[in-house]
Amino acid sequence: MESIFPRLLERCLALEEAPEEWIGRVVEEARTPEGSRAFFARVIEPLADSFDPGLAGVYQRMFRRVIARVAPGAALREPSPPPEVPGEARRVFVLSRVTLGADVAITSVILDGAKKRFPEAEIRLVGGRKSAEMFAADPRIQFLEAPYQRTGLLEDRLAASFQLREMVDQPGSIVIDPDSRLTQLGLIPVCGPERYFHFESRSAPGSQPLSVLAAEWFAGVFGVSGARAFVAPVPSTDRPDVTVSLGVGENPAKGLGPEFERAMLELLEGSAVLIDEGAGGEEADRARRAMLPGMRTFRGSFADFAARIANSRLYVGYDSAGQHAAAACGVPLITVFQGFPNEKFLERWRPSGPGAVTVVRGDAPDVLGEVRSAMARYLSASTSTSPQ
């Protein structure tokens, strides 16, 4: 039988409601690992990545119906303005965005703001261990593990969201949700509405990056300005000139292929270059094939690589977590954006930080030429300002 997902997405993009029998078919298809992955990749993520307020509403209505099929009678959250901010809080639970890049670009902004607004509170990042490692050196941030299987069954993902309430619904606490998959983007309540603060990242107006929007939202709700993205991994003594990631976040459309990657690394010949092997496998193979003699590859956690990014003079990569780590550290960076679904996606996910940022579109007439010019500018500037 033909999958229902393409037709469901088409109906949603047309701002039309799906027939009830389609919702039943969605649940049936998503009961297998392959079907669950396809539902999120082919329907949910395209709707979220549109950053269209109208489609955000379509997503909410459609996913509510899916949840009702999987968990009949479950109470779901209705969109509402943020509640009154308490004068103080014993604990502040900040939910992870699940993916590392989003946790740097968005969640870290919320963590930074929470530390400023609640200086006496216990700040807890709720999510997976890989995200926690990004802030391991910050004594103000504690960790509460709440695993979420990005490739798990639909039922398991929803069960993890419902179970989260038992962990964070505590007296004297508040929950700040940066549009996390842990709550299915704010649909599943994890505490009382009087203690829940939801940053609806998909429907925010304007053209600023998500890091900027998160800071503006926090200032508007909590009255604290100046929150910014940051990372605090365990420091490293490794100091490469240039850090490089050829990772594409499991999306091959974000890459420009081995010939481009080899040519890009040839531009860095003579510099001390460290290339991330990522999760291994195909990504590690691409890094090794592209590297030149004298260059090194890095095998380890992303947090450990982020510590090396912080020590480098330049970061180069595709649209992935590394660009946000570099931006948060103020390291000059060049990021090649390829395969983005729409212009709003590019606006929202472009890195933003105190350092120099060059975004090169993958559809530019001369991508390699733009990268070459930016590299020459950044490397010459860093050499002229380095101590003798």
Instruction: Give yes or no for residue 282 having a pLDDT over 50.
Output: yes
pLDDT band at 45 (very low <50, low <70, confident <90, very high): very high
Amino acid 250: pLDDT = 79
Task: Provide the token pair at 320.
Answer: 């992935």
Cα gap 134→97, rounded to integer Å: 13
Determine the average pLDDT of the residues in 209-237: 97
pLDDT in tens, 303-360: 999 999 999 999 999 999 999 999 999 999 999 999 999 999 999 999 999 999 999 9
Q: DSSP 3-state assignment of 126?
A: strand
Cα gap 21→290, rounded to integer Å: 49
Cα gap 9→4, rounded to integer Å: 9
Q: At what angle do helices 302-311 and 321-329 cross, to 10 degrees?
A: 40
CA distances from 49 to 13, 330, 334 (A): 12, 26, 22
First-to-last alpha carbon distance for the chain, in angstroms, is 69
Q: Who has greater pLDDT, 195 or 383?
A: 195
Q: Which CATH code of 3.40.50.2000, 3.30.450.90, 3.30.70.920, 3.40.190.80 fits the domain covering 242-385?
A: 3.40.50.2000
Q: Which CATH code of 3.40.50.2300, 3.40.190.170, 3.40.50.300, 3.40.50.2000 fits the domain covering 91-222?
A: 3.40.50.2000
Cα gap 185→77, rounded to integer Å: 10
Task: Provide the token pair at 203.
Answer: 């429907």
Task: Provide the token pair at 187.
Answer: 């649909």
Amino acid 279: pLDDT = 83
pLDDT band at 383 (very low <50, low <70, confident <90, very high): low
pLDDT in tens, 99-138: 999 999 999 999 999 999 999 999 999 999 999 999 999 9
Determine the average pLDDT of the residues in 13-42: 94
pLDDT band at 204 (very low <50, low <70, confident <90, very high): confident
Amino acid 380: pLDDT = 82
Which helix (H) or strand (E) segment is 361 a member of? strand 357-361
pLDDT in tens, 132-174: 999 999 999 999 999 888 778 999 999 999 999 999 999 999 9
Which helix (H) or strand (E) segment is 19 a member of? none
Question: At 244, which amino acid appears?
Answer: V
Helix, strand counts (H, E) of the chain: 16, 11
Determine the average pLDDT of the residues in 68-96: 95
Determine the average pLDDT of the residues in 258-283: 94
Residue closest to 204 by CA, chosen among 316, 51, 330, 27:
51
Residue 240 near residue 322, CB atoms below 8 Å: no
Which residue is it, tokens 């103080």? 88
Instruction: Give yes or no for residue 261 having a pLDDT over 80.
Output: yes
CA distances from 82 to 118, 199, 217, 250, 307 (A): 17, 9, 11, 35, 35
Amino acid 388: pLDDT = 36
pLDDT band at 382 (very low <50, low <70, confident <90, very high): low
CA angle 319, 323, 324 (to 5 degrees): 110
% pLDDT > 90, the chain:
89
Cα gap 75→189, rounded to integer Å: 8
Q: What residue spans define the domains of the chain?
A: 5-70, 91-222, 242-385
Amino acid 385: pLDDT = 52
Instruction: Give yes or no for residue 387 having a pLDDT over 70.
Output: no
Amino acid 150: pLDDT = 78
Which residue is it, tokens 């870290």? 108
Cα gap 104→111, rounded to integer Å: 10
Instruction: Give yes or no for residue 386 having a pLDDT over 60.
Output: no
Cα gap 34→132, rounded to integer Å: 28
Question: At 384, which amino acid appears?
Answer: S
Q: Point out the least confidently predicted range of 28-32, 176-180, 312-316, 330-334.
A: 28-32
The 10 Å CB-count burial string (b at 16+, else e) for 126-144 is: bbbebbbbbbbebeebebb
Let me know if the fold of 91-222 is the same as that of 242-385.
yes
Residue 274 near residue 238, CB atoms below 8 Å: yes
Determine the average pLDDT of the residues in 10-38: 94
